[in-house]
């Protein structure tokens, strides 16, 4: 029984890498622009579709295709922000919500139209292979999820912490008007942030395609996961978001153990409720990186 | 007569029905120091924000180095050579002191030609900051924040430096240090427009003064030869 | 600046004429017109409730489907399991949703802005998943409401119209009350409102409860009309998508806006065939375009251009006309 528990927790930790990754993009956008990007989940799924339905059938090896998807999604995220969402800023909370929600609807249904409602997944040998750790077997995919997740988090923290772009982004997020006084153009920063967010999401999308099946509607699911991860982790902290992902994944997998598999989805939602009631500021406070 | 570096002409700006600046005009020659005096609510901050592009003016004109500025976005105005040290310092709290400086310095990377201001030079001007370089922006004292705000502004290589409320809330010792630094900056050839609540100090440090009251210019004259009383009378309308 | 207003008697005449046309539907219309108008009526009523929250209280929510599902299921359970009459179940639906709005509001109000919007969605999801796993309500396969089949369709029609008028009256009454002034003050500047002594939390909760109860009641109607209920449809995010479209396109922060928006939506539905992908793409795209180009919607445009308004209660709409530079 304890072995099962440890196996579940370990799997949760690793799957949490994917969840955390999915949440990072939302966190970046909210941190910079104070906008909850309701289209974030659909961008993740768009990446997955682009990979599985467009690139892979052309015969491009999965890894190369993944390397193509990420910059393409950066461009998509950048363009959406620059030409559409950016124009909804500065007028209160409603316009960006309606606009990103509208984009989400359009994306989901365009995918439905062109890629149909069939279940999709990335066929790889990874799906069935596992790694033995003592008496526990862990799916290889999960290990990759975690490694890539941690890697992305590290990369983002490095960009934010050590580069000129990162400093400009953080300054804009602190105080956009004063950033302007330094010569920073907030609109450019928002577009770059949205691009980075989409690119991070694309990595998540690639992993998602390898981890499970997906549909056009998976975008909404991904958005809710991202949202919950950010709320649990603490608004404004990337590391917190990542930890939130781990916590939620663990909660889900534990709930599948007990009370049962049909409760695993609700479990994550309930954890968020509990966080809201008992620790509304989330795991890590704002001042953490 | 040579063209002034900055010319503000009939500038009006405000918030809907509430016009904080109502037809302000003045000129600043290159290398000069102009003191802007006025009580709270006289329109000083709105005036500065309108010159810098943070606030859209409703009418009037701002001409800097011969170029019209109205309508230019704030980050472009910085590139053209105006830097503002804002009221309340507005230090970036999640960046360190050094990073605060770097944000400004980074934006000047693509500038060709000699750089007059580097981080090193700022630290020489304000040794206190060097000691605090790695501390968080929100963790330093008010005086250090003001030094940092000035340093940040200098790093954008301005030709004109605007300072909104230089000494507000600071101790006399710190104010002294600040003005010494400002004197050095001025000796370097910088043009200054500054807001200072202490009328005596404003007169001592400036070449000209402008007194604002309820959004209009009530007094504009050379500082040399103006008395504190004359100014105080204009100040209170 | 004086806006040319439609004179009071003219407004009364126009409203009365519209109501008369609706009331005489059995005379000029057949079953098709009736069904369409019922759908229009409940959409318009739902949009009114959403508008009360988003357009007046500044509470943008993507979780109203919680109360749609709850109201619908209360009716279903009331009729099928408890043995209530259809109309008693109606009343119960409003009571249950109104009551549940209190803890839900208390919890979600801890979230601000966009997080409140998605947080309410999460709670709706919890209910969707839970109801799907609850044998008492037949899990995900849903329930059929047998007593609903014996309700006269024209009676249902008048109930629907009555509900719409009732919701409009409720919104107007709320906005003209003291609480209503408080609401709009909160929407415009929450901190300032608090400083003026407005009990921000209480006023918001009141609006939330009213909107929930209203939504629950409308949901009961929808369920009787169908007369089938199923968790994935009842608690679906699509409700929020539709309702937000109607309120935004019609005109947020106005009373006639949601009605206009619902009319447009119903026409769109007819043209583009139900809720297919193309329909939703158009809905999404139009929402985006309207929000960017004409943020005050159609009613807002009319008001700005000619100063006309049917229900002069709205003050400044919730979207600022000039953007921060």
Type and span of the H or E element at B82: strand B82-85
Percentage of chain B lying above the pLDDT 70 cut: 98
Q: Where are the alpha helices (DSSP H) in C133-199?
A: 153-176, 178-188, 190-195
Mean pLDDT across chain C: 87
What is the residue extent of each domain of chain B?
Answer: 6-235
CA–CA min distance C324, chain B (Å) = 8
- Strand (E) positions, chain C? 143-144, 228-229
**Which residues, at least 6 apart from C176, have a Cβ–Cβ distance to it below 8 Å?**
C313
Q: What is the pTM of this model?
A: 0.90
Nearest to A181 among B86, B94, B109 (CB): B86
Tell me how many domains chain A contains: 1
Q: Provide CB contacts within 8 A for B179, sequence distance 6+.
A: B166, B201, B205
Q: What is the domain extent for residue A223?
A: 2-118+138-278
Phi, psi of B136 (to 5 degrees): -65, 150
C contact residues 286-325, partner B, Cβ 8 Å cutoff: 325
Reported as a single tens digit per residue, the pLDDT across A99-126 is 999 999 999 999 999 888 888 888 776 6
Confidence of residue B19 (pLDDT cuts 50, 70, 90): confident
Residue C198, both tokens: 């407005």
Region of A198 (left: φ > 0; alpha: ψ -120 to 50; beta: rest) is alpha
**Amino acid A165: pLDDT:** 95
**Tens digit of pLDDT per residue, chain A (289 long)?**
688 888 888 888 989 999 999 999 999 999 899 899 999 999 999 999 999 988 888 888 888 898 999 999 999 999 999 999 999 998 888 999 999 999 999 999 999 998 888 888 887 766 677 887 777 888 888 888 899 999 999 999 999 999 999 999 999 999 999 999 999 999 999 999 999 999 999 999 999 998 889 999 999 999 999 999 998 888 778 999 999 999 999 999 988 887 777 778 888 888 888 888 788 777 776 654 4
What is the biggest distance separating any 2 CA atoms in chain B, rounded to whole angstroms?
48
- Say yes or no: C185 contacts chain A, CB-CB below 8 A: no
Per-residue tokens: C208: 């939330």
Q: Measure the CA–CA gap between B210 and B32, rounded to whole angstroms.
A: 13
> A30 in a domain, yes or no?
yes
Per-residue model confidence (pLDDT) at position C320: 54
pLDDT digits (tens, 9 = 90+) for C39-76: 999 999 999 999 999 988 889 999 999 999 999 999 99
- Torsion over CA of C291, C295, C301 and C305, rounded to 10 degrees? -130
Chain A residues within 8 A of B93 when measuring between CB atoms: 174
**How far apart are alpha carbons B142 and C151 in whole angstroms?**
74
Is B79 an interface residue toward A (CB < 8 Å)? yes
More confident residue, C186 or C103: C103
In a domain, residue A150? The reply is yes
Assess contact for A201 and A51: CB atoms under 8 A: no
CATH code (residue A264) = 1.10.3470
pLDDT at C4: 45
Domain contains A6: yes
Q: Which residues contact A128 (CB under 8 A, 6 or more apart)?
A: none
β-strand pairing of B216-222 with C143-144 = unpaired
Tell me how far apart the alpha carbons of residues A179 and C32 are, in angstroms, rounded to a whole number. Answer: 59
Radius of gyration for chain C, computed over Cα atoms and rounded to the nearest angstrom: 19
Give the best residue of A34, A81, A105 to mutate against chain C (max C CB count within 10 A).
A105
pLDDT in tens, C233-252: 999 999 999 999 999 999 98
Q: Which residues of A touch B73 (CB under 8 A)?
A: 180, 185
* Per-domain residue ranges of chain C: 24-236
Domain for residue A61, yes or no? yes
Percent of chain C with pLDDT over 90: 48
Distances (CA, A) of C152 to C39, C149, C234: 16, 8, 23
Place of tokens 């008010």: B142
Average confidence (pLDDT) over C282-290? 95
- Quick count: other Cβ atoms within 10 Å of Cβ B90? 20
Strand, coil or helix: what is C203? helix
pLDDT at A124: 74
Higher pLDDT, B63 or C177: B63
- Residue-wise pLDDT tens digits, C67-122: 999 999 999 999 988 888 888 999 999 999 999 999 999 989 888 888 899 999 99
Q: Is B151 exposed, middle or buried (0-12, 13-18, 19+ CB in 10 A)?
A: buried
pLDDT tens by residue, B44-64: 899 999 999 999 888 899 999
Q: What is the pLDDT of residue B227?
A: 80
- What integer pLDDT is reported at residue A289 of this predicted model? 47
Q: Is residue A29 in a domain?
A: yes
C129 vs A120: CA distance, rounded Å? 23
Q: How many beta-carbon pairs under 8 angstroms link A with B?
A: 70
Q: B236 falls in which pLDDT band (50, 70, 90)?
A: low
Judged on CB neighbours under 10 Å (0-12, 13-18, 19+), A138 is middle
CA nearest to B106, candidates B141, B57, B155, B179: B155
- Whether residue A123 is contained in a domain is answered as no
Smallest Cα–Cα separation from A226: which of A26, A28, A45, A91? A26
Q: According to the model, what pLDDT value does residue C319 have?
A: 60
| Cα–Cα distance for residue pair B126/B134, rounded to 1 Å | 15
Compare CB distances from A94 to C115, C286, C319 and report the shortest one's residue. Answer: C319
Provide the chain A residues 105-144 that lie in CB contact (below 8 A) with chain C.
Answer: 105-106, 108-110, 112-113
DSSP-based three-state secondary structure for A79: helix
Does residue A125 form part of some domain?
Answer: no
Q: Is the CB of B152 less than 8 angstroms away from the CB of A182?
A: yes
Is B6-235 assigned to CATH 3.10.20.30?
A: no
């Amino acid at each position: 029984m304890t072995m099962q528990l440890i196996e579940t927790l370990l799997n949760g930790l690793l799957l949490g890498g994917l969840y955390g990754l999915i949440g990072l993009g939302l966190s970046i956008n909210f941190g910079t622009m104070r906008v909850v990007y309701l289209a974030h989940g659909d961008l993740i799924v768009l990446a997955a579709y682009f990979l599985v339905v467009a690139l892979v059938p052309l015969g491009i090896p999965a890894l190369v295709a993944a390397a193509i998807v990420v910059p393409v999604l950066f461009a998509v995220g950048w363009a959406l922000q620059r030409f559409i969402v950016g124009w909804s800023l500065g007028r209160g909370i409603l316009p960006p919500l309606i606009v990103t929600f509208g984009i989400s609807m359009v994306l989901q249904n365009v995918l439905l139209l062109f890629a149909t409602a069939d279940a999709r997944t990335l066929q790889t040998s990874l799906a069935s292979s596992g790694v033995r750790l003592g008496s526990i077997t862990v799916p290889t995919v999960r290990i990759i999820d975690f490694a890539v997740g941690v890697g992305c988090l590290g990369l983002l923290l490095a960009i934010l912490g050590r580069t000129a772009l990162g400093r400009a982004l953080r300054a804009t997020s602190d105080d956009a008007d004063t950033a302007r006084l330094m010569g920073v153009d907030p609109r450019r920063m928002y577009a770059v942030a949205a691009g980075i967010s989409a690119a991070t999401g694309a990595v998540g999308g690639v992993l998602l395609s390898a981890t499970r099946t997906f549909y056009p509607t998976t975008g909404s699911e991904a958005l809710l996961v991202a949202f919950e991860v950010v709320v649990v982790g603490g608004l404004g902290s990337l590391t917190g978001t990542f930890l939130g992902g781990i916590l939620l994944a663990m909660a889900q997998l534990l709930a599948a153990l007990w009370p049962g598999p049909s409760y695993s989805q609700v479990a994550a939602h309930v954890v968020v409720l509990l966080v809201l009631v008992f620790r509304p500021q989330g795991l890590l406070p704002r001042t953490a990186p | 007569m040579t063209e002034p570096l900055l010319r503000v002409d009939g500038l009006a700006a405000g918030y809907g029905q509430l016009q904080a600046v109502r037809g302000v005009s003045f000129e600043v020659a290159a290398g000069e120091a102009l003191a802007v005096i006025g009580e709270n609510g006289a329109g000083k901050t709105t005036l500065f924000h309108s010159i810098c592009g943070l606030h859209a003016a409703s009418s009037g004109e701002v001409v800097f180095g011969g170029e019209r500025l109205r309508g230019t976005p704030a980050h472009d105005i910085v590139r053209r050579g105006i830097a503002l040290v804002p009221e309340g310092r507005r230090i970036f709290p999640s960046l360190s002191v050094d990073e605060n400086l770097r944000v400004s310095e980074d934006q000047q990377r693509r500038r060709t030609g000699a750089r007059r201001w580097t981080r090193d030079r700022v630290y020489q001007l304000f040794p206190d900051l060097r000691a605090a370089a790695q501390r968080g922006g929100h963790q330093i004292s008010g005086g250090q924040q003001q030094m940092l705000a000035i340093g940040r502004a200098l790093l954008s290589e301005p030709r004109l430096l605007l300072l909104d409320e230089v000494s507000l809330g600071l101790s006399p010792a710190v104010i002294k240090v600040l003005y010494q630094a400002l004197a050095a900056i001025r000796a370097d050839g910088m043009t200054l427009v500054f807001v200072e609540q202490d009328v005596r100090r404003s007169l001592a440090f400036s070449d000209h003064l402008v007194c604002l009251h309820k959004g209009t210019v009530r007094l504009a004259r050379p500082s040399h030869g103006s008395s504190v009383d004359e100014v105080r009378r204009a100040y209170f309308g | 600046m004086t806006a040319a207003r439609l004179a009071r008697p003219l407004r009364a005449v126009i409203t009365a004429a519209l109501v008369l046309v609706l009331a005489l539907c059995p005379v000029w219309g057949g079953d098709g017109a009736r069904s369409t108008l019922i759908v229009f009526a409940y959409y318009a009523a739902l949009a009114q409730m959403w508008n009360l929250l988003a357009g007046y209280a500044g509470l943008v929510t993507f979780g109203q489907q919680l109360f749609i599902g709850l109201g619908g299921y209360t009716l279903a359970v009331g009729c099928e399991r408890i043995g209530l009459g259809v109309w008693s179940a109606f009343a119960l639906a409003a009571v249950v949703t109104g009551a549940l709005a209190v803890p839900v509001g208390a919890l979600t109000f801890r979230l601000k802005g966009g997080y409140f919007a998605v947080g309410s969605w999460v709670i709706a999801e919890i209910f969707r998943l839970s109801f799907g796993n609850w044998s008492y309500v037949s899990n995900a396969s849903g329930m059929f409401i047998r007593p609903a089949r014996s309700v006269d369709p024209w009676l249902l029609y008048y109930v629907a119209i009555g509900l719409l008028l009732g919701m409009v009256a409720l919104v107007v009454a709320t906005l003209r009350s003291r609480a209503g002034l408080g609401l709009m003050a909160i929407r415009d500047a929450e901190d300032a409102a608090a400083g003026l002594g407005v009990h921000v939390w209480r006023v918001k909760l009141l609006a939330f409860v009213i909107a929930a109860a209203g939504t629950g009641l409308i949901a009961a109607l929808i369920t009787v009309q169908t007369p089938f209920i199923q968790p994935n449809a009842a608690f679906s995010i699509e409700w929020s998508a539709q309702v937000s479209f109607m309120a935004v396109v019609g005109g947020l922060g106005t009373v006639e806006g949601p009605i206009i928006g619902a009319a447009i939506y119903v026409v769109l539905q007819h043209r583009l065939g139900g809720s297919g992908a193309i329909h939703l793409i158009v809905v999404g795209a139009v929402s985006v375009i309207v929000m960017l180009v004409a943020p005050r919607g159609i009613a807002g445009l009319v008001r700005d251009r000619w100063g006309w308004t049917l229900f002069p209660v709205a003050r400044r709409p919730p979207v600022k006309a000039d953007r921060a530079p």
